[in-house]
Structure formats: structure tokens, C-alpha cells
A and B are shown apart, each in its own frame.
Chain A
């Protein structure tokens, strides 16, 4: 089923769970729809006026109808209780330890993604909106010792494969939505909030970050790029960037 649905490649450890439910629920929908449609077409043909000149006042003695409805409810409860809710809680509650993870800040703005790596010391430097200017969109305070080794990029998020990634998501202006289709994650960047979202890339490759919430006239072109790299390549890139900044 899932391959017919034509979703983007599943490139994270968590994607499989999402896709499994996606396939199951679409099976349910397909069965219901085909079932109903067959019955629908049957009655239309069987009870057309020319075939059935006089209607039957009492109509269908359909006990099974309530069974179908019960069945739908049962199926939905199963999907809910055994699949959706557990997976969801796994997605939002089980935050991996920062030590084992690649931690980055992503700050959305009209119409770009600012990415902030803590650098070697693993500590994010201080930021202050009063320092925001075209060359320093994050308002990073370079005088702060923790900030010296920090690395910032725009619309470019590089990550090492096979290791959990934690993104601390926020926005400078309006609501945006941070989506990595191949990782099966999406989270609104809501003004005034900093929210974590995490995943474990399992496949290397380079894909797009589409902004998924209407954020103004540039919404359609608010495209970032993220690349999942072999660890060595990623470290090399980090080092290069650190040297440049």
C-alpha cells in the first residue's frame, strides 16, 4: 500500500511507524469505500424503477448495517489506541539525551530558515533581538564566549546520519512550519515559543525544507535545503564552516 501512496522516501528511524499507520488507515478507507460503493451500485441497479415498479414500504431489514458501523468504530479505536497515540507520544515525549544527539537551533523568519550550531563547546551563544541585522539575522552576540565557536547558516541544514537530531524550533516574526518530508516530521514555529522536534536520519541524501504554514507573500519560496551526510563528511563541513566564521 505505502508504495502506491507515493510518499517521499522514508529516511528516518521514526518514518516507518508513521508510514505503517498511513498504510493501515488507507486500507481501512479503501475497504469501506469499495464495500459501500459495491452495495451502492447494486441497489441503484436492482431497485431502479423499471426493475422495481412498486417500492417496499418497510425497506431493508439491515441488521448488518449496525455491524458495519460497529466495525468502523472498532477499527478506528484500534488504530487510535494501538498505533496513533503510542507513536505520537513516542514522537513528542521521548526526547533523546542531548549528549548522544546533534543539537541545532532553527529560527524561521520571513522568508528563510536560520540554522544555529553550538560549535565545539556544545553551548549556544547568547542571542539578543537588538543585535539583529542583515549580516547577523540571529542577533548572535559574538562577544559571548560561548558564541565564538558557534556556526550559523541560512537555508542550509547539514546533519550526520545514524545519530538522533534535536531541533530547537522558533521564529522571529510570524508562524512558519518546519517540515522535513523524508523524516516524516513537521512542526509549526510559533512566535513566542521554542519547541523541540527530533528524529534519527538513517539514509544519506539532500532534500528540501518546505515552509508549510502561510507566512506571507514569500511563503511559496521559503525553501531550505537539508543534507544528511556520513559523519566524517559532516565533521569536515563543520570544521570548514567554523574556520570561515
Chain B
């Protein structure tokens, strides 16, 4: 009995089937999302009631919270690890590792990924990296505490946790690089006959560009991590200038390094990375909107071209994170300009998605609701990027909660919503059953309200000049006093947000047995993944080799028998 369970576990954990690997990615990354969320709940409570014992969990934190009162050291670990886990172990593995793995081969009509074994290796590297990150919490000195940005010299002189962070990142990076290779090769080489470039679903395009970003941007952080590792382990001075005095002690190093070098290398990755966080989300949204408006996407080509522009430009805007490091006019002018320009393709894609609604016959099911909510949320996040992108207005806003609010609108009610939408949308293809609508609605409206209650006030705090990464949320500053009280409702909203995830988790597991049987194509969708049997065949996905005869979103074609004409259906 136990043995059989063990065997099946091993079989799953060593399968090279892209669908199984996709699900492994899915569960691991969801678990990490949950962990990242729990960490930040502590932060939110701490911000509301700094210096007071944490209820319930306070005792469990041991020497991190003597008497249940959180230490600043531990607060910094929470912040750094929340960011790291959410970005590198939660959202990207879910958006790319899980959705990319499961859906992309199906949408291009491939039997599997181009390199199935490499695919499995990617997953194991990712898991290993994630575990290294987690164990670091239990090491002396705890986890990394220098922010997800790990700025040197702080990170160089930090506790051992930082070394684990670097090791974990190197594993995750390797995993992503192999993954990116695999996705690109699969898309280029394994497209079904008739599936020409401009017949690819937008989701595939988004994943393809994302893969290129990962492939070409991640090596910069790889290099940076190696250099910081050298600085920490063999005492080189790549990021250590001469003449530092830490805690009254002169730092005995060769010196001559550059603290800004780290920032350049880091942001050269991290800006493209933020588009990695959003492009797959846009892909998911596009699929769901086309399907639930029952009409083709508006300006499909325009959207694809915008993706290219976005992908290219994202490599030349990185220093907008460094305006206040003492940048001269010319360089800042360049990066302000590129930053303003890069907002245009995003505007184009967003407008195209909104215009796609026009003339549609809109069905409001749970996936569609999440997809629709994504648009204004992304709008708020994106628009607030503009004052940050102008160096002058960045002066008062840099490193305040305004920045935190800016990007959380993009990643939390933005990307996370898109990921939820994707789960509700593809669940029936994966399990053969639909998720429960009622629970879905509770999950949706609850999350939408709470997210805004948490992040909207941060704009006010940021404008008032309240900084981010503060253990006491700025309680000692006079200019923070007017907006301090907001942290209390924000804390409760965060807890409510957690509560509203319960219907989702229940739904996710209960629907496996109780969900309404879905058949092969419950949403009456056109793209190729719905032409597979449900679930797709373990070997080769498709019952008979697929072929594409038309563009991806042929909904409501005038004179067609049904309001949708599958891409793989014989004919013109």
C-alpha cells in the first residue's frame, strides 16, 4: 500500500511528460506563493502593530521574535524572502513553468516539449533552488535580509543567509535558462503543420518573448551572483570600494571595487524580469478574453508586434531603478526616454484587449471576471509607473511605498489574478471537471476588494514620503503620522485576503471529484489544446496528429455553423 504510493510518487516525480512536469511546477509554485503570502501577512501585521507581540504565531518564531515581538533583523528577512519567493519561486514558475509547460505544447500541437528530459531537470533544479532558499531561514543568522535586490556592500557583509540566497538563485537561474531553451525550441520546431507564425495563439507569442527575456537577461544576474559569491567566500572586492569602516572597524580588503556595478548587473536582469512577470499573464488574459467575448482579438498583429518592441526595449531601461544614485543629465535623459517609450507598447496591448470587448457577446464566468479585473488593475499599476519613470518626480517617490503600490498593482491584482484566471480556465482540460462557479465568485470579489484595500493606501503613504522596508512602518517620522493609521485596515484586509483564498483552495481540490464533468471543450474554444481528449493523452497528447487551418480565434465567423470554428477543424 505505502509502497505503491511511494512508487507512484516516484513515477510522477520522474515523468518526462510535459503535462506531469507542468503540474509539478504548478503545485510547487502555488505552495511557494502561499509561503510568500504568509511571510507578508507577518509584515502587514507588524506594520499595523509594530513593537507589539504577534498574535498566535508570535511564539513559533523563536529567537526571531523574543516575547512574540518581531526583531528588525527578522523583518528584513521577511521582506527580502517575500520578494524573492514571490518573483523567482512563485509567479514565474507558475506562469512559465506550469502554464507554459502544460499549455504551450498543446497550443502548438506538439506531442511534448522538444527536450523532455531537460524539462524534468529544469524542474528539479528549480525545486532544489527553492529548498535552499527555505532552509536558509533555519540557519544561524537566518535567511537573506538585504532585500530581494541584495545591494552590495550590505549583502556582502551580511549573514550566511545571503550565501544561501546566491546559491539558490544560481540553481533557479540555471533552471530558467534550460527552460527558456526548451520553450523556444518547442515553439520554433514543433509547431503543427499549418500553424504559421501569425496563426500562433497570443499566449504562445507571450511565452516565446518571455523565454527570450529569461534566456538573455538572467545571465547578468548569474554573473552578478558569482561575483558576489566570490566577494563573500574568498574576500575579493568586486563590490567593495576602498576605505570602508563598518561598525567602527576598518574593512581589511584590497578594495577598489564598485558598489554601483552590482546595481547595474542586477537591474539589467530585474527589469526584463518584471516583464517576465507580466507577459505570460497578458497571454492568459488574451486567450480568455477572446474566448468569452466570442470574437477574434482586436489588432492581433499589432499586439504581437508590441510584444517584440516591449521585449527589445526592456533591455535598455534598467537604470530607471537607479536615477537617484547620482546620475548625470545625459544618462538620465536616455533612460527616462526609453522608459516613457516602453510604456507605449504596453498601452497598445492593453487598449487592444479592451477594444476586443467591443462588439463581443461577453460571458461573465469566473475566469473572465479575473481576466477583466486584470485590465484596470494593470492600468493603475502601469500608469503609476509614469511618475516613477520621470527622474524628477522619482526624487520624492523613490524607495517609498508608492513604488511598492505601483508594482503590486501589476503583480498582485495583475499577474496573480491572471494566473487565477488561467487556473479556472484550463482546469477542466487538465482534470475533466469544471471548478465551482459560486466559490469562484466569492474568491474573485473577495480578492478584488481586499487587494485594493491593501495597496491603494500605499500610494497615499508614498506621496506623504513614507519609505518602504521600515520595521515600524515609519512610526518615528513626523511626516508619516497622517497616514500611519491606514496600516490597521490594511492589515485586516490582508488577513481577509488570506481568508478569501480558502474557497479557492477548497474549490481546487474538491472539484477534482465533485466538479461538473467538462467534456473535451467546455468553453467552446478554438485553440488546439481543446482539440485533445480530456485529459490529453499521456503519450503524444493528440488522438490524431493535429493540423491548423486558420487563425487562432475564429469566433462568430459570419455564416459558420457554430459561433466558434476550431483552429484544427478541416476546411478553408
Contact = CB atoms under 8 A, between A and B. Distances in A.
Interface of A: 5-8, 17-18, 21-22, 25-26, 28-29, 32-33, 36-37, 39-40, 43-44, 47-49, 52-60, 62, 65, 68-69, 72-73, 76-77, 79-80, 83-85, 87-89, 91-93, 109-110, 129-130, 132-134, 139, 172-175, 177, 179, 181-182, 184-188, 190-193, 195, 207-208, 210-221, 223
B157 interface: yes
Contact of B298 (A29, A48, A62): A62
B399 A213 contact: yes
B260 interface: yes
B27 interface: no
Top 4 nearest A-B pairs (CB, nearest first) are A192-B241, A60-B358, A56-B359, A89-B329
A208 B478 contact: yes
B479 interface: yes
A159 to B, nearest CB: 18
B562 to A, nearest CB: 12
30 contacts: A22-B387, A29-B383, A32-B379, A32-B383, A36-B350, A36-B354, A37-B379, A43-B358, A44-B357, A54-B361, A55-B293, A56-B556, A60-B298, A68-B351, A69-B351, A76-B386, A77-B340, A79-B340, A80-B337, A84-B336, A92-B332, A132-B245, A186-B324, A186-B395, A186-B396, A190-B326, A195-B326, A210-B474, A210-B477, A214-B147
A62 B355 contact: yes
Contacts of B375: 40
Contact of B360 (A59, A174, A182): A59
A189 to B, nearest CB: 9
A59 B358 contact: yes
A32 B383 CA distance: 8
Interface in B347-403: 347-348, 350-352, 354-364, 372, 375-376, 379-380, 383-384, 386-387, 390-393, 395-396, 398-400
Nearest to A48: B362
Interface of B: 71-73, 75-76, 145-147, 151, 153-154, 157, 240-248, 250, 257-260, 293-296, 298-299, 324-329, 332-333, 336-337, 340-341, 343-344, 347-348, 350-352, 354-364, 372, 375-376, 379-380, 383-384, 386-387, 390-393, 395-396, 398-400, 460, 463-465, 467, 469-472, 474, 476-479, 482-483, 555-558, 563
Contacts of B260: 190
Nearest to A128: B243
A48 B369 CA distance: 12
B396 A181 contact: yes
Given A52-B360, A60-B358, A210 B469 contact: no
Contacts of A28: 386
B550 to A, nearest CB: 13
A188 B477 contact: no
Contact of B259 (A32, A175, A195): A175
A6 B460 contact: yes
Nearest to B74: A217
A179 to B, nearest CB: 8
Given A25-B393, A207-B479, A43 B357 contact: yes
Contacts of B296: 57, 59
B555 A191 contact: no
Contacts of B390: 21, 25, 79-80, 83-84
A214 B76 contact: yes
Given A84-B390, A84-B391, 18 more contacts: A7-B464, A21-B393, A26-B387, A47-B358, A57-B555, A57-B556, A72-B344, A80-B340, A84-B336, A84-B393, A87-B392, A129-B250, A139-B245, A174-B154, A181-B479, A186-B398, A219-B470, A220-B72
B245 to A, nearest CB: 5
Contacts of A215: 154
Contact of B476 (A49, A62, A110, A223): A223
A18 B392 contact: yes
A192 B258 contact: yes
Contact of A190 (B259, B295, B340): B259
A131 to B, nearest CB: 10
Nearest to A26: B387
B181 to A, nearest CB: 35
A5 to B, nearest CB: 5
B243 A129 contact: yes
Nearest to A181: B465
B256 to A, nearest CB: 9
B477 A208 contact: yes
Given A7-B464, A18-B392, A185-B395, A88 B360 contact: no
A52 B362 contact: yes
B357 A191 contact: no
A172 B386 contact: no
